[in-house]
Amino acid sequence: MTVRLQALSGGYELILVTGVSAVAEVAFLVWFGTQRLSNWGEVVIFLLNILVAVILGFLMMLNGFLRIIATSTQISLFKRLAWLLLWWVPVLNLWLTFSICHAVRMEYEFELSKIELNEVRRENECCKTRYPVVMVHGVFFRDWQYFNYWGRIPKELIRNGCTVYYGKQQSAASVETSARELKERVLSIIEETGCEKVNLIAHSKGGLDSRYAISRLGLAPYVASLTTINTPHLGCCWVDQVLARCPKKLLSFVAAKYNRIFSKLGDASPDFEAAVFDLTHDHCSQFNEETGDYSDILCQSVMSRMSSMFSDGVPCNIGYLLVKHCEGVNDGLVCADSAVWGKFLGYLDTPGRRGISHGDMIDLRRENIRGFDVREFYVELVKKLKEQGY
């Protein structure tokens, strides 16, 4: 068990013990208060008992609260603030405490089962593929060291024997520019490791970057497989709608601000407008006409679907409504049919109404989704690559 889980469990137990102790103390005080208090000494003892119980209970509850707030990854910011600001409101504070403790309990059991599962299969190295895995990010993000685009996924793969690298393209650039950067990155990995080829796992626009690098920049001999995750192979209708309605001056203003910020964050020459225009239907149609297939490379794709706008937060909930209006079922950014390419592995859903968004597929919110374990999805994906000799 990790230190974080120990602290999380300790906080949960402190709150639980405080609650049980409070019930026992109230029962004792009710019984004691019904007795005839014959002298001032007994009255003082009675009042001191109440004071000590309140102080100790408050300190234990505060300790447990701080542990949970500091270590839990599954409690929403809204509930944290509500618990902090409304702890004094009767009934509501009990409901919030119960809700948060339930979430903590589920998180603890989920993460503990994850650790136990990895311990069992550690020796098997089920994700130790013949070729290393290069994870290719999508648009408007970078492969930052302290905020991983892929959330908890890479560590899970590494625990199971996978060798993981990152594409490290700029956050926003044309498909061609990003593809050239990706090609340079792959060739440097091959030179560094002597691995001959790599397995590409690409999310969103990263799938288009990868296809361009393979088919039009000569990267094909160095790629064993390409798996695209929620990639808009046929374009994004919401991009067409936004571009059609957005004043050019506003688009230029936003682009200039974005490029200036990300230049300071590490991009060599960010190009917001080029990245956006390359996701339109017209550009993707032309892209598909000019981009051939690759018989010697395993090409496969997968797509997730949101079930409603409440499946995720901003921006996917807004994107869901836009895309649903013009193209139907989607993941909050990409139409379901747009992601079908190569060997299609199917649509990903949850048993309930939660659905799986564009961001969920890269563990953006680090949320444990009931009915869909994103880390286990990638473990199984890479495990199958290993079984197929890649």
Instruction: Report pLDDT for 194.
Output: 93
Q: Residues 235, 383: one domain?
A: yes
In DSSP terms, 27 is beta-bridged to: none
248 lies in the same domain as 214: yes
On whether both 272 and 220 belong to a single domain, the answer is yes
Q: Domains in the chain: how many in total?
A: 2
Same domain assignment for residues 81 and 190? no
* DSSP string for 1-41: --HHHHHHHHHHHHHHHHHHHHHHHHHHHHHHHHS---SHH
One domain for residues 257 and 360: yes
**Looking at residue 231, what is its pLDDT?**
97
Mean pLDDT by 10 residues, the chain (390 residues): 86 89 80 68 77 87 89 88 84 88 90 83 87 96 83 94 95 95 97 95 97 95 97 90 87 92 90 94 92 87 93 87 87 93 94 90 92 95 96
Residue 331, helix vs strand vs coil: coil
Burial class of residue 39 in the structure, from the number of CB atoms within 10 Å of its CB (0-12 exposed, 13-18 middle, 19+ buried) = exposed
Q: Are residues 134 and 275 in the same domain?
A: yes
**Is 112 in the same domain as 136?**
no
Domain limits at 349? 127-387
- 160 and 69 in a common domain: no
Looking at the chain, list the stretches that DSSP marks H as alpha helix, in order from N- to C-terminal side: 3-34, 40-71, 77-85, 92-121, 153-159, 175-193, 205-216, 237-245, 248-264, 272-277, 281-290, 316-327, 374-387
For residue 156, give every residue at least 6 positions away whose Cβ sits within 8 Å of its Cβ, in sequence order, or none.
114, 118, 375, 376, 378, 379
Out of 88, 118, 148, a domain closes at 118
- 170 contacts 138 by C-beta, under 8 angstroms: no
Residues 137 and 113 in one domain: no
Give the model's pLDDT for residue 33.
65
Q: What is the pLDDT of residue 156?
A: 94
Q: Are residues 109 and 135 in the same domain?
A: no
Q: Are residues 289 and 200 in the same domain?
A: yes
Domain stop point among 90, 118, 146: 118
CATH number of the domain to which 190 belongs: 3.40.50.1820
Which 8-state DSSP code applies to residue 303? E
Same domain, 297 and 166: yes
Residue 187 confidence (pLDDT): 97
CA distance 289 to 295: 17
Token pair 């920049």 is at which residue? 217
- pLDDT score, position 38: 67
Domain boundary among 68, 90, 118: 118
Which pLDDT belongs to residue 220?
94
Q: What burial class does residue 242 get, using C-beta atoms within 10 Å of its C-beta: 0-12 exposed, 13-18 middle, 19+ buried?
A: middle
Is the Cβ–Cβ distance between 184 and 215 less than 8 Å?
Answer: no
* Intra-chain end-to-end CA distance of the chain, in Å: 33
Contacts of 181 (CB under 8 A, 6+ apart): 167, 168, 169, 170, 173
